[in-house]
Structure 1
Amino acid sequence: MRLSVAVASLLVAWLAGLGCIQAVTLEVNEGNTTCIKAELSATFSITYNSSSSTRTVTVSLPNSTTVDADRSSCGADGSSPWLVAVFGTGHEMGMSFSTNSVMYSVANLTLQYNLSDASVFPEANRSDVVTVVVPSVGIWATMNTTYRCMSPSTFVGEAAVTFSDMRLEAYMPGNDLSPTESVCTADQTSTTAPPTTAGTTTTAAPAPTPPGTPERGTYSVNNLNGTVCLLAQMALQLNVSYFSPSQNKTVRELVNLTPNLTRSSGSCEAGSASLVLAQEGSSTLNFTFTLNSTSNKYHLSGIALLANLSDAAAPFSAGNASLDYLRSTLGRSYICNAEQTLVVVTTFSLNTFRLQVQPFEVTTNQFATAEECQTDQDKMLIPIVVGAALAGLVLIVLIAYLIGRRRSHAGYQTI
């Protein structure tokens, strides 16, 4: 699967360079106003079983794609805004959006494909319609700005979706895309040196001071009835790399989350749960947990970040919906006091300290019995091994002492 995704991404980039993939324009309207608008190119890499083998096809979003007006919505009455695009014979792509009033994001990306379409899936051994959902894909932007990402970006679920030449805005205040843009990380990298003039000197910016260990915070998500359905305690540190225009190079920065400035929100469903941490005016961090109902195991499957960094040309955006961290058993919490580094993408990782989380089956607003991470178990094992070794050494010395005393007594004779 990883190989097919990589090949698909290279194919998309090559075809886009040749102009073979054309952008489509999609709009969701309510009356005379537009609330969602997208200009994008998209391809889908789908693996299916045929009568003789397993095949992978790459499908592009055609120019004939239209918006399903009946199922698309601007999000009235508290519902989420939806963009549903239909194409071909029973195929569709959908995006749902969410906002925390500072930033908006693509909360879920859905792909529906019809295996009975023989022109796309020849000799498929099934004829049903398959729906794939990819949560928290990492498409984030500041409110009233356009999300822009010209570079190919691939999001992996049971199928791979690759966007390119993408300009998108939801919760639009006007009928056209905002001229102010939130640029994705891939588009921010630049190798062009700034112009210089004679007689001018450039002073390098001082290296930032490491922020130290972050403070631990307590975060929770409530059900509609007000009861806690997700509980987390953790100290978090963002580790990001981005292009700095002032230094004309890529820099790395560590940013601590401050609990008393951070608001938590999210949702709890039967098979998934999300935790959104919004630090006012600076960052929004989204966690997605997935439950496997067959094995009764859950794990952290997605992390997405949108952050305003002081020396970046645009908001930093990164995410990954195919992670496998913090794995534990349903009905138990996951705990790891040791520092962990959760790699999300090459430009973003998350450092966690003194973490405990339970995204499912929280009762009485308290953590259930915890399952420890391997690092904590290894740390507990070291003093046990050392203690056992010391006890063995003491036992050996004691035995040697007793044997020595017995031999010394045997050397005396009674007069």
Structure 2
Amino acid sequence: MTRTCPFVVGIACFAILGCVTVVQSQVTLEVTEGNSTCIKAELSASFSITYDTANGTRTVTVPLPGSAVVGVASSCGGDGRSPWLVALFGDGHALGLSFSSNDSLYSVANLTLQYNLSDVSTFPEANSTDVVTVETTSVGMVARVNTTYRCISASSVIVGGATVTFSNVTMEAYMTGDDLSPNESVCTADQIFTTAPPPPPSTTTAAPAPVPTPPGTPNQGSYSVSNSNGTVCLLARMALQLNISHFSASQNKTIQEVVNLLPNQTTSSGSCDPTSATLVLTQGSATNLSFLFTLNTTSNRYHLTGLSVVAAWSDMTAPFITSNSSLDYLRGSLGRSYMCISEQTLAVDHNFSLNTFQLQVQPFDITRGQFTQADECQLDQDNMLIPIVVGAALAGLVLIVLIAYLIGRKKSHAGYQTI
């Protein structure tokens, strides 16, 4: 969601909560309440932002500097308010992270980035002097309660016309002590899946590990996203199946698990911008799936650019988190929906892929809350082509037999003469 209003932190008059230090390329940010620390983050971040100029568009990369400070909007939460960590930097720029939790997990529920286009040193020749705020609920940082989230690997989050890249992250919210917990929830990108060595020989025969039952074809669900005035801006009908490779606690090895998304237990949310649209599907506290569509205003074509998943299934040793923001799936034309009834596999990385069935999506230019005419996928076109080719071949064969019969009959008549 994009807004051109000032971010609630109050750039002109911020207060310092806690302290800020720099360790090499990392910034350490702490949110305190009284003498207690509730949020602590040690991280590196950079922001790739595209903006308009008189000669087109320009993209700049802005690092989170060591001079970043914790702003007055930062809070430990309570009374119905979410915990917030807000880092202020440069001439009117801010990064905000809000958190949510359940009995077993906490996560970054919302990422907000504010940038000030009137900062000519950062945004030279910008057409606008607005303070722009973009936000997303698709962040992918999840950890178990009372553990530290750790992700040394670089990970990117697309938010509006910007991309936020994190690295070297150690962070904890809802802290019970003044320092990060020694227990860690490690992101998927940092995990090295290995198979444990076999146990020593035993005189008793162990029961074989149960073989997972294939889940079958998933049921189709209907999902939608509305903008701030209640108008539907994204529609989706699809049946989804997740393929995840993770380390199994019960089997003590890496396994591939196939799980269907259950529409009757899944809620949808998201946001829409003129050139991007996000659909977030949440099944309880165990599965979160996010789709990012982008529109090319030159070609008037859209496609699925980003796909991310957060899964905290019972047999996982740690929450599974992965994303890919450089995809090229589900390509459609502006003003039309995209349809693919056939099963197709969307590969995200070597540990995660998504199977789709009976899919129809339209992320832009919705008319009266309904799908418009569809662009069909190549798989459906090929499936339609096969019976046409077979039918044509059979028709040709029948025609050949008929012609041969008529020729043979004519020759047979010619062999007899009337006396």
TM over 0.5: yes
Could you tell me which runs of 5 or more consecutive residues in structure 2 were left unpaired when the two chains were aligned.
1-22, 50-59
Farther off after superposition, 398-407 or 264-273 = 398-407
Q: In 2 relative to 1, CA 58–94 (structure 1 residues): closer, same or farther, beyond 3 Å?
A: closer
**Root-mean-square deviation (CA), in Å?**
4.3
Cα 1:72–1:281 shift into 2, 3 Å: closer
Cα deviation, residue 268, structure 1: 2.1
8 A contact 1:146–1:167 mirrored in 2: no
Structure 1 position 357, deviation (Å) = 1.3
139-148 or 316-325, larger mean C-alpha shift: 139-148
Report the counterpart of residue 17 of structure 1 in structure 2.
Answer: none
Asked if 1:187 corresponds to 2:190, the answer is yes
Pick one of 207, 232, 235 that aligns with 2:239.
Answer: 235
Question: 1:184, 1:156 → 2: CA distance?
Answer: 15
Cα distance between partner residues in 2 of 1:24 and 1:340: 42
2:395 to 391, 405, 413: 391
**Separation in 2, partners of 1:222, 1:59:** 31
- What are the equivalent positions in structure 2 for 1:9-48 lying under 5 Å apart? 21-27=24-30, 36-42=39-45
The partner residue of 2:289 within 277, 285, 289 is 285
Higher helix share: 1
In structure 1, the partner of 2:142 is 141
Amino acid at match of 2:192: T
Change (3 A) 1:211 1:188: same
Cα shift at 1:61:
5.6
Secondary structure of the residue aligned to 2:403 is: helix
Query: How many correspondences in the alignment?
Result: 377
State the partner residue of 2:406.
402
Q: Tell me whether 238-247 or 180-189 shows the greater mean CA deviation.
A: 180-189
Match of 2:95 in 1: 94
Match of 1:104 among 91, 102, 107: 107
1:97-135, CA deviations, whole angstroms, 9 ceiling, x for partnerless residues? 475867533655869799968xxxxxxxx9457999896
Tell me the amino acid that sits aligned with residue 397 of structure 1.
V
Task: State the Cα distance separating 1:255 from its structure 2 match.
Answer: 1.0
Matches within 5 A, 1:124-163: 127=124, 138-142=139-143, 144=145, 148-155=149-156, 163=166
Identity %: 56
Deviation at 1:372, TM superposition (A): 0.8
TM-score, normalization by structure 1: 0.73
The answer for unaligned runs of 5 or more in structure 1 is: 1-19, 47-56, 118-125
Structure 1, 281-290 or 31-40: larger mean CA deviation: 31-40
Q: Which residue of 1 aligns with 2:7?
A: none
User: Which residue is equivalent to 2:14?
Assistant: none
> What is the TM-score when the length of structure 2 is the normalising length?
0.73
Equivalent-residue separation in structure 1 for 2:313 and 2:83 (angstroms): 28
Equivalent of 2:324 in 297, 320, 330: 320
Matched residue, 1:52 = none
Could you say what secondary structure the match of 2:402 adopts?
Answer: helix
The 2-side partners of 1:265 and 1:407 are apart by 76
Structure 1 residue 28: Cα displacement: 5.2
Q: Deviations over 1:138-176 (max 9, x none)?
A: 532158555623432243879986644312245778876
CA positional deviation for 1:272: 1.7
**Among 306, 310, 315, the residue aligned to 1:306:** 310
Alignment partners' CA distance in 2, 1:136 and 1:342? 22
> Match of 1:264, SS?
strand
The SS at the match of 2:364 is: coil
Query: Is 2:341 the partner of 1:337?
Result: yes
1:26 maps to a residue whose letter is L
